[in-house]
Structure 1
Amino acid sequence: MTTLTESRDRATTDPRATLLDAAGRTYFPLAFVARLPFAMMVVGVLTLVVAGRDSLTLGGATSGMVGLGGAAIGPLIGAWADRAGQRRVLLVTAAVNSLLLLALTAAVYSAVPDAVVLAIAFAIGASAPQVAPMSRSRLVGLIHTRLPAARRPATLSRTMSYESAADEIVFVVGPFVVGLLAAAFGPAAPMLAAAALTALAVVAFALHATARTPVAAAHGTSGTTAAPAAGDAARATHATPSAPGRAPRTQAPARELWHRRVLVLVAGFVGIGLFFGATLTAMSAVTGDAGHSERAGLLYGFMGIGSVVSALAVSVLPTRFSLRARWLTAAVVQLAGAVVIWTAGSTAVLIVGLLVAGLGIGPSLVTIYSLGSARSPRGRGTTVMTMLGSSVILGQSVASAGTGFLADAAGTGAALAMPAVAGTVILGAAVGNWRLTDR
């Protein structure tokens, strides 16, 4: 703790200091591992319930309840963290979530009604520790309070690129880990592993010294004030830190969270969630038609590859390529990939479409998170980050259920059209953001 404090003090005065100096060398590996349980939950719940209750319908409904719980309660957890500090919130949610994962495992293999299983699943999503948005909030606070002002915009862009790439990698690795554990040790193993990881990694993340990072008072300033697009990522450079680990004394009213400049970002993330859910379910329909439904994750992984590569590449884009232009360009690329997926006549063409779509998803994630950081009402940065993350979960839950129903009712061809519908939603949000953002 002393070493990290001294490192952060040097970062305040040393113009050569980096974000790694400010956060400490253990931070990034720990934050990465702490995200893994969240990425394992939805797929793990589906695997457990289908095996334990022998019902694909109940399995899909249960995994959907996990998503709905996270979407409904996740922003409230973010708001709680803005008021009480991340450490307390993470310790409470980690303890509750670990116990609920064990409770669901026991319930599935008992004689309790299906309604109880669904209720526990909702509670699992509702209590999921919000590691990813809290990590972003911590790092933004470190950038605004511990690094020289001239280097903050570039560091913020690179950090949002890394964070988005980390999310993508985790959501590719998570389902793969679930499959390995279920095949090797049985369908309950992924849930037990997720409970253990939550109890260990999330608690360690909560106790890390960065949990007491001062929140910048201008991170961001009121969402009601328009700012130039080029300045969106660089806003709040004149931040005034509050007490360590706590929100600023003067917190913006909650109504500012509903400003259209924030809501357009939420709409974009709902579209990305719709794209994720529609694409994964459509790939399940494609591979199911071929008699190999277990290979859906392999096809889906190609989209993850493109997304990770493009998310990391965003950090080298020139600053004159504005955030609003980046999102609009990425949305067009993503929709183009979706159209290729829809019209693909072979597996090879389908893979090309997935790769192209991924190339659009990565920059969209990075750019929207950067805009969200800049547009967060004063003292509500974690709330906004959690709203964005929860929007992805909500969209994914809705699209998974809707695309699955459509595949059963109208066939695989209809399911393959749904990613294009989701891509249109994302493009519409990008156009709306363009209109709401000054040059």
Structure 2
Amino acid sequence: MTDSETPTPSQNPTEPTLFSAVGRTYFPIAFVARMPFAMIVVGVLTLVVAGRGSLSLGGINSAMVGLGTAVFGSFIGAAADKWGQRYVLLIVGFLNCVALTFMAWVVFSPLPDFVVFIAAFAIGATSPQVAPMSRSRVVDIIMTVLPVPRRPKVLNGTMAYESAADEIIFVFGPFLVGLLATLFNPVAPIIGAIVMTLVFVSAFALHPTGRRRSAALTAEAAKQAPAKDVFTAGVFVVVLGVFGVGMVFGSTLTALTALTNDIGRPEEAGLIYGVMGIGSAVLAICVAVFPSSFALWARLLCFAPILVTGAVVLASTESMPIIVIALLLMGSAIGPSLVTLFSLAAERAPQGRSATVMSMAGSAIIVGQSVASAINGILAEDQGTATAMAVPVAASAIVLLAGVLNLIVDKKPHRRGSGSSRRAVVDGEEEI
């Protein structure tokens, strides 16, 4: 985040900063509150495999989690736009804890598999959309509280931080699932997710930034754009790109699990996978120093080919040192790509529909991760590790496709109204 604590010559010391606007506790709470969302796919997979003894059944249940998120994630965001984040998060957080508790019981019950599928779908459908709602909150605060000249720089840095936080969580989440399952039992990750949801998601919901902003500050935002304005080519491209990144996460972890299992060291999969996440988080933070002349469309077209290259190298070797290099290369591209995609989401969100668009993009990560995990798990079991290692190539190609489609969309004349003010801020203009 680039909202400097030290006033510059052009910055009035009395002017608000992002940190003063959100408070010191906001970012730590929002960071930890993301963890349950990142744990659920792998947590459900681990639990079902342990309880029902079937890897394919576990993969299908992971996909059901993603399906539930895909169907209801955007509706949760739309509800937050209409009624405010606080009540929506508290309700879905409670329902998610109920669904997780039911899953922990039903897996070991004599009930048929389709009941387990229903539980998995319910977990995905009620997952609190903390990451996209955090982005929505800080974007709205930046657009209404901070002085106009500082908005572009702060927005760019904040999107970089938010994406880096996602990277860390989506790497550490599966690691935490494995740690809890190993030290205790397969139900432990589910219990951990319930506890973190009750404590940190509730704290995030009840944080002062979760209140609807006063009418005086949001007179313009109160004129909410119609729901149909969300369904544009620009938003679709963003969702496609984030979905591709989610597929990279899921397919890569599954492929590495298959590979390390072949060499008799399955416990190393999470550690090796972490190499990609660490590199990705570091590069995501570095996006904050990119010049405004490095346009968003150009960033995506610059880093997506690097992601594809790293995936190709990963698929073409069995040498562990080269695999690590390939993961570092992929990570160096994923971070900036994700920052860029969410910056585009902020730019293209129709007026008053920020949480909706951010939830659509945030849901796409978990959908991509769960779909890729399920598909690649089946491929690894039926076709072998070599086939599974090739799936990240296809996943990264989706991100590249999104970059190409985004170039086409970006060159078209933009509609007036809904997204014009956000576009001006992201592009570095001072007119809002």
User: Would you call these one fold, judging by a TM-score over 0.5?
Assistant: yes
Give the one of 321, 345, 354 matched to 1:348. Answer: 321
Is this contact kept in 1: 2:99–2:122, CA < 8 A? yes
Task: Please give the residue correspondences for 1:349-364 in structure 2 after superposition, counting only pairs within 5 Å.
Answer: 349-364=322-337
Match of residue 104 from structure 1: 103
Structure 1 residue ranges without an equivalent (≥5): 1-11, 217-239
Question: 1:346 Cα shift?
Answer: 0.5
User: Residue type of the partner of 2:313?
Assistant: V
Whether 2:136 is the aligned partner of 1:137: answer: yes
Is this contact kept in 2: 1:15–1:148, CA < 8 A? no
Match of residue 174 from structure 2: 175
Whether 2:354 is the aligned partner of 1:381: answer: yes
Task: Please give the residue correspondences for 1:155-234 in structure 2 after superposition, counting only pairs within 5 Å.
Answer: 155-214=154-213
Match of residue 59 from structure 2: 60
Is this contact kept in 1: 2:234–2:406, CA < 8 A? yes
Corresponding residue SS for 2:292: coil
Is this contact kept in 2: 1:143–1:152, CA < 8 A? yes
Match of residue 42 from structure 1: 41
Whether 2:215 is the aligned partner of 1:242: answer: no
Give the one of 344, 348, 352 matched to 1:371. Answer: 344
Match of residue 297 from structure 2: 324
**Measured at CA, do residues 108 and 84 of structure 1 come closer, stay the same or move farther in structure 2, by a change above 3 Å?**
same
Q: How many residues align?
A: 402
Provide the C-alpha distance between the structure 2 equivalents of 1:249 and 1:79, rounded to a whole number of angstroms. Answer: 14
Corresponding residue SS for 2:34: helix
Give the one of 245, 263, 268 matched to 1:295. Answer: 268
Provide the C-alpha distance between the structure 2 equivalents of 1:184 and 1:398, rounded to a whole number of angstroms. Answer: 28
Deviations 1:395-426 (A, max 9, x none): 22222222223223332222212111112111
Give the one of 386, 389, 407 matched to 2:380. Answer: 407
Provide the C-alpha distance between the structure 1 equivalents of 2:285 and 2:52, rounded to a whole number of angstroms. Answer: 41
Structure 2 residue ranges without an equivalent (≥5): 1-10, 412-426, 428-432
Provide the C-alpha distance between the structure 2 equivalents of 1:189 and 1:423, rounded to a whole number of angstroms. Answer: 33
**Measured at CA, do residues 334 and 19 of structure 1 come closer, stay the same or move farther in structure 2, by a change above 3 Å?**
same
Provide the C-alpha distance between the structure 2 equivalents of 1:119 and 1:311, rounded to a whole number of angstroms. Answer: 36
Provide the C-alpha distance between the structure 1 equivalents of 2:255 and 2:236, rounded to a whole number of angstroms. Answer: 28
Provide the C-alpha distance between the structure 2 equivalents of 1:52 and 1:313, rounded to a whole number of angstroms. Answer: 43
Provide the C-alpha distance between the structure 1 equivalents of 2:153 and 2:28, rounded to a whole number of angstroms. Answer: 22
Deviations 1:37-87 (A, max 9, x none): 111111111121211222222222222211211121101100111111101
**Measured at CA, do residues 410 and 178 of structure 1 come closer, stay the same or move farther in structure 2, by a change above 3 Å?**
closer
Question: 1:327 Cα shift?
Answer: 1.0
Give the one of 279, 286, 293 matched to 2:259. Answer: 286
Is this contact kept in 1: 2:279–2:328, CA < 8 A? yes
Provide the C-alpha distance between the structure 2 equivalents of 1:135 and 1:321, rounded to a whole number of angstroms. Answer: 25
User: Residue type of the partner of 1:304?
Assistant: G
Deviations 1:184-233 (A, max 9, x none): 221111111111111111111111000125399xxxxxxxxxxxxxxxxx
* Larger mean Cα displacement after TM superposition, 146-155 or 207-216: 207-216
Is this contact kept in 2: 1:274–1:395, CA < 8 A? yes
Whether 2:367 is the aligned partner of 1:394: answer: yes
Question: 1:271 Cα shift?
Answer: 1.3
Is this contact kept in 2: 1:326–1:367, CA < 8 A? yes
**Measured at CA, do residues 397 and 178 of structure 1 come closer, stay the same or move farther in structure 2, by a change above 3 Å?**
closer
User: Residue type of the partner of 1:106?
Assistant: W
Provide the C-alpha distance between the structure 1 equivalents of 2:382 and 2:56, rounded to a whole number of angstroms. Answer: 14
Provide the C-alpha distance between the structure 1 equivalents of 2:41 and 2:378, rounded to a whole number of angstroms. Answer: 18
Provide the C-alpha distance between the structure 1 equivalents of 2:290 and 2:271, rounded to a whole number of angstroms. Answer: 30
Provide the C-alpha distance between the structure 1 equivalents of 2:405 and 2:14, rounded to a whole number of angstroms. Answer: 38
Match of residue 26 from structure 1: 25
Provide the C-alpha distance between the structure 2 equivalents of 1:62 and 1:136, rounded to a whole number of angstroms. Answer: 29
TM-score (norm 2): 0.89
Deviations 1:343-387 (A, max 9, x none): 124111011001100100000110110110011011100000011
Question: 1:133 Cα shift?
Answer: 0.4
Match of residue 117 from structure 1: 116
Is this contact kept in 2: 1:281–1:403, CA < 8 A? yes
User: Residue type of the partner of 1:94?
Assistant: G
Is this contact kept in 1: 2:80–2:88, CA < 8 A? yes
**Measured at CA, do residues 266 and 380 of structure 1 come closer, stay the same or move farther in structure 2, by a change above 3 Å?**
same
**Measured at CA, do residues 215 and 281 of structure 1 come closer, stay the same or move farther in structure 2, by a change above 3 Å?**
farther
Q: CA RMSD in A?
A: 1.9
User: Residue type of the partner of 2:175?
Assistant: F
Question: 1:292 Cα shift?
Answer: 2.4
User: Residue type of the partner of 1:400?
Assistant: S
Q: Which runs of 4+ in 1 moved over 6 A?
A: none
Is this contact kept in 2: 1:95–1:199, CA < 8 A? yes
